[in-house]
């Protein structure tokens, strides 16, 4: 059995856009690692408005975009796709809202972690100033002996 391989990277985008049901997949596969996917916004909207995709196919393609692709602001990209393709708006907005919530949660976690680290350093400085042994301070605060030596100066 022989299979013909197609090199999407050498095919012009306008030729890929003619492939109806698989056009969006081919376009994404061609550009997924090479550039910011927001540069493909116009052709992606064009393909979405042609209504060749099922909801499942759209979910898979958006998941692929988010996991393998590059976008400066993924939430904004999904929101723009939703505005340009009203028939998929509800599905795309759900994904955009999930991305925003995930971003808020990650930001909150990072902020809390930075706050705990800053508090541990402040406590360690006070303990050092009161003459406690660095080994004990490291054990209590979780700060490494190397970092303790930078705090004492």
- Read off the pLDDT of each residue in 30-43 and give the average, rounded to a whole number: 89
For the entire predicted model, the pTM comes to 0.62
Question: Per residue in 72-129, pLDDT tens?
Answer: 888 889 999 999 999 999 999 988 888 888 888 888 999 999 999 999 999 999 999 9
**What pLDDT does 70 receive?**
86
Examine residue 15 and state whether it is found in any structural domain, yes or no: yes
Q: How many domains does the structure of the chain reveal?
A: 1
User: Position of tokens 């999930």?
Assistant: 98
Tell how many helices (H) and how many strands (E) occur in the chain.
8, 0
CB-based contact 64:53 (threshold 8 Å): no
The fraction of the chain above a pLDDT of 90, given in percent, is: 41
pLDDT exceeds cutoff 70 at 153:
no
Alpha carbon distance 17, 77 (integer Å): 19
Alpha carbon distance 61, 58 (integer Å): 5
Examine residue 57 and state whether it is found in any structural domain, yes or no: yes
Examine residue 139 and state whether it is found in any structural domain, yes or no: no
Examine residue 82 and state whether it is found in any structural domain, yes or no: yes
């Amino acid at each position: 059995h022989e299979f013909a391989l197609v090199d999407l990277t050498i095919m012009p985008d306008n030729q890929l856009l003619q492939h109806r049901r698989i056009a969006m997949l081919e376009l994404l596969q061609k550009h997924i690692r090479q550039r910011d996917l927001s540069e493909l916004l116009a052709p992606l909207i064009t393909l979405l408005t042609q209504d060749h995709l099922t909801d499942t196919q759209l979910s898979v393609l958006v998941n692929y975009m988010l996991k393998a692709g590059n976008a400066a602001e993924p939430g904004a990209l999904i929101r723009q796709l939703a505005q340009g393709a009203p028939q998929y708006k509800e599905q795309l907005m759900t994904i955009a809202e999930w991305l925003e919530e995930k971003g808020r949660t990650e930001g909150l976690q990072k902020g809390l972690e930075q706050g705990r680290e800053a508090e541990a350093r402040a406590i360690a400085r006070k303990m050092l100033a009161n003459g406690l042994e660095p080994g004990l301070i490291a054990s209590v605060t979780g700060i490494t002996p190397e970092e303790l030596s930078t705090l004492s100066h």
